[in-house]
């Protein structure tokens, strides 16, 4: 057979190879340099106050690294859920969609190379009037340890920071209420715990003391019809199913309006308390945490008024 005939036969083979290479490269996720090159455009497509979600979920750490805290702040990344967001910017690769915004209405779509950016509207958006996690500070709140008597916990922004590392306790923040005579882990402060799906959840840690309770009171809180929240612990502790229940009680101007009892295995659990005659008022709100056995009772909760 002549070489010219062989060359002619190679043409369809090369065509098939080129097509296969096209599909192979098209199905590869963008590398870090492609993410960095696209970052300015991806950031520009996000509207202020939008939640940013990434699909598939495993690509989110790369997105956070290249887009930064201005686009993906910890408050959003470690959100309690999606109900508070009116809209979201979804960054999609490999044709995937985010499970967190499933059912949201598409407002815009932009194809940017390996990226598809959609702006989505939340059909079930609920406006938050006051976020308690945002107001853990000396200006907005007080804290106390209540045993035989109530002892005020002191606010500081220079407390020793501590983290247990892989499998250890959550970060003990520098900014927190430190309680007199209590172990280091008994405080009121904002940290992040992992839920049952290893997702981060930003919350107020209030470890139950060995006796009595620990309390946090927020001043001049604008109330809606309800207080809505979540409670949880470190997943690695909850999954053992050996701890005592933790009681979180809620008071408005000293009157108990509801409670949540958290038991091991419930993980990141939603709860809500109707405010009845207190709705629409401005009042003080107190959260009280206690447990019959304090070992590993690292209650971490979040709440807001709506």
DSSP per-residue codes, 193-225: EE-TTS-EEEEEEEEPPSSSEEEEEEEEEEP-S
Domain ranges for the chain, please list them.
Answer: 32-121, 130-305
DSSP per-residue codes, 34-78: HHHHHHHHHHHHSPTT-EEEEESGGGHHHHHHHH-TTTS-HHHHT
pLDDT above 50 (res 20) = no
Angle of CA points 76, 80, 81, to nearest 5° = 85
pLDDT above 90 (res 14) = no
**What is the structure's pLDDT at 53?**
98
Of 132, 90, 151, 108, which is closest to residue 300 (Cα–Cα)?
Answer: 132
Structure-block tokens of residue 191: 């940290």
Q: What's the CATH code, domain 130-305?
A: 2.60.120
Q: Percent of the chain beyond pLDDT 70?
A: 90
Residue 169 pLDDT class (50, 70, 90 cuts): confident
Lowest mean pLDDT, pick from 4-18, 102-116, 185-199, 279-293: 4-18
**What is the structure's pLDDT at 2?**
56
Q: Is 276 helix (H, G, I), strand (E, B) or coil?
A: helix
Dist CA 107 CA 37 (whole Å): 25
**What's this model's pTM, rounded to 2 decimal places?**
0.87
Q: What average pLDDT score do residues 158-170 get?
A: 81
């Amino acid at each position: 057979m002549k070489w010219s005939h062989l060359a002619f036969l190679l043409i369809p083979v090369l065509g098939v190879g080129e097509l296969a290479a096209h599909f192979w490269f098209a199905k590869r996720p963008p590398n870090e340099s492609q993410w960095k090159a696209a970052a300015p455009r991806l950031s520009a497509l996000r509207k202020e106050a939008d939640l940013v979600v990434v699909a598939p979920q495993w690509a989110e750490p790369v997105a956070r690294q290249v887009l930064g805290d201005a686009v993906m702040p910890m408050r959003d990344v470690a959100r309690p859920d999606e109900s508070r967001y009116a809209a979201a910017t979804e960054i999609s690769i490999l044709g995937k969609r985010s499970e967190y915004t499933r059912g949201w209405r598409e407002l815009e779509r932009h194809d940017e190379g390996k990226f598809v950016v959609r702006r989505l509207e939340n059909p079930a958006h609920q406006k938050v009037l006051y976020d308690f996690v945002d107001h853990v500070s000396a200006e907005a709140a007080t804290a106390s340890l209540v045993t035989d008597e109530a002892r005020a916990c002191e606010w500081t922004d220079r407390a020793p920071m501590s983290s247990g590392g892989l499998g250890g306790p959550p970060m003990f923040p520098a900014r927190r209420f430190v309680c007199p005579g209590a172990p280091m882990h008994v405080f009121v402060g904002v940290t992040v715990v992992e839920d049952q799906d290893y997702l981060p959840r930003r919350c107020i840690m209030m470890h139950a003391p060995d006796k009595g309770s620990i309390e946090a009171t927020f001043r001049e809180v604008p109330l809606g019809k309800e207080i809505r929240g979540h409670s949880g612990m470190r997943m690695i502790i909850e999954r053992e199913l050996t701890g005592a229940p933790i009681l979180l009680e809620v008071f408005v101007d000293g009157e108990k309006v509801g409670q949540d009892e958290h038991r091991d295995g419930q993980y990141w659990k939603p709860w809500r308390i109707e405010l009845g005659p207190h709705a629409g008022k401005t009042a003080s709100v107190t959260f009280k945490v206690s447990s019959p056995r304090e070992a590993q009772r690292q209650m971490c909760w979040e709440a807001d008024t709506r």
